[in-house]
Amino acid sequence: MRINLLILGGTTEAKALAAAVSEAGIPAVFSLAGRVARPLDQPVPMRLGGFGGVAGLCDYLRREKITHVIDATHPFAAQMSRNAVAACADCNLPLIALSRPAWEVAEGDRWQRVPDMAGAVAALGGPRRTVMLAVGRMHLAEFAPNPQHRYLLRLVDPPEGALPLPDCHVIVARGPFGEADDRALMQEHGVDVVVSKNAGGSGAQAKILAARALGLPVIMIDRPTLPARREASCVAEVLDWIAHSGTDRGV
Ligand code: NAP
């Protein structure tokens, strides 16, 4: 059977998958939203930018004669994941998500779990603290109702223009990061509390491990709920699915 994969990327796992399919000689296109100024090179052809919703994605899938879609986006990229489910159903294409389990609370953790970004904003009311706000550039403005804090931000690209938070310190860096480095960073800046999405996986976990080691509280944002879809937990499982999937669309 002719194979032509669409990999929806933006994660460490997506990069590993691209390397594996390239190694296996399987034709694939790697798709990124185009949020980052200098995306990392991939060993398969890349495309950048949104598709234009479900209809745009369907057009793309048909035009490019895609045979399989692998959703290896971040667990908080809910819109893209929902669109992928809808478009693959419309186009009768097999879809699998390369997903990673959420982080679980462990001994020493001081988590306050909140259901969403608004919950994190609400949890940050109260007197001034130094907050490591690790929610991504797109969500910073939502924290404007809490201008009393000092925010430590780590962004992939230097910010363009003023940030929506009056007192913040920006570090421009691209992960993955190490626990010891994050511990040192938190100590250097006197961080009182960390705000994080429950991303899961190892690439973004250093700050959670560092907070645990330092006994710092973490406001942990739960993952969004996604439609049911077939899921794989590792690259090998995706390769196996590609080899055996045909047009089976079960979840
Ligand atoms: P999102 O809210 O789910 O997506 C919004 C829109 O961006 C989608 O509807 C789609 O536009 C476009 N888009 C998203 N991912 C795309 C992809 N891989 N290829 C082409 N278009 C894409 O997504 P997001 O949370 O902004 O995340 C954007 C990207 O950053 C994803 O690739 C994700 O894996 C990565 N990322 C996200 C986070 C996070 O915390 N959300 C963290 C790390 C990395 P159209 O509707 O026009 O197709």
CATH number reported for the structural domain that contains residue 53 in this entry: 3.40.50.720
User: Same domain, yes or no, for 57 and 131?
Assistant: no
Q: Could you give the residue ranges of the DSSP H alpha helices within 95-234?
A: 117-123, 179-189, 206-214
Give the rounded distance of the alpha carbon of 98 from its chain centre. Answer: 12
What's residue 246's pLDDT? Answer: 59
User: Same domain, yes or no, for 123 and 45?
Assistant: no
Q: Could you give the residue ranges of the DSSP H alpha helices within the chain?
A: 12-24, 53-63, 78-91, 117-123, 179-189, 206-214, 235-244
Residue 250 has pLDDT above 70, yes or no: no
Q: Which atom of ligand 1 is nearest to the CA of 76?
A: 41
Structural domain count of the chain: 2
Residue with the larger pLDDT of the pair 250 and 100? 100
Determine whether the shortest distance from the Cβ of 33 to ligand 1 is under 6 A. Answer: yes
Nearest to 204 by CA among 70, 100, 115, 123: 100
User: Same domain, yes or no, for 169 and 210?
Assistant: yes
Structure tokens at 24: 């296996």
- Does a structural domain hold residue 59? yes
User: Same domain, yes or no, for 43 and 116?
Assistant: no
SS3 state at 89:
helix
What's residue 251's pLDDT? Answer: 41
- Does a structural domain hold residue 250? no
User: Same domain, yes or no, for 122 and 148?
Assistant: yes
User: Same domain, yes or no, for 163 and 183?
Assistant: yes
User: Same domain, yes or no, for 26 and 96?
Assistant: yes
pLDDT in tens, 213-233: 999 999 999 999 999 999 999
- Does a structural domain hold residue 24? yes
pLDDT in tens, 75-94: 999 999 999 999 999 999 99
Distance 236 CA to ligand 1 centre (A): 24
- Does a structural domain hold residue 139? yes
Distance 33 CA to ligand 1 centre (A): 5
- β-pairing verdict for 130-134 and 150-155: parallel
- Does a structural domain hold residue 251? no
pTM check: above 0.85 = yes
User: Residue 51 has what DSSP assignment?
Assistant: -
Give the CATH number for residue 160.
3.40.50
Distance 91 CA to ligand 1 centre (A): 21
User: Same domain, yes or no, for 135 and 171?
Assistant: yes
Domain that holds residue 192: 110-221
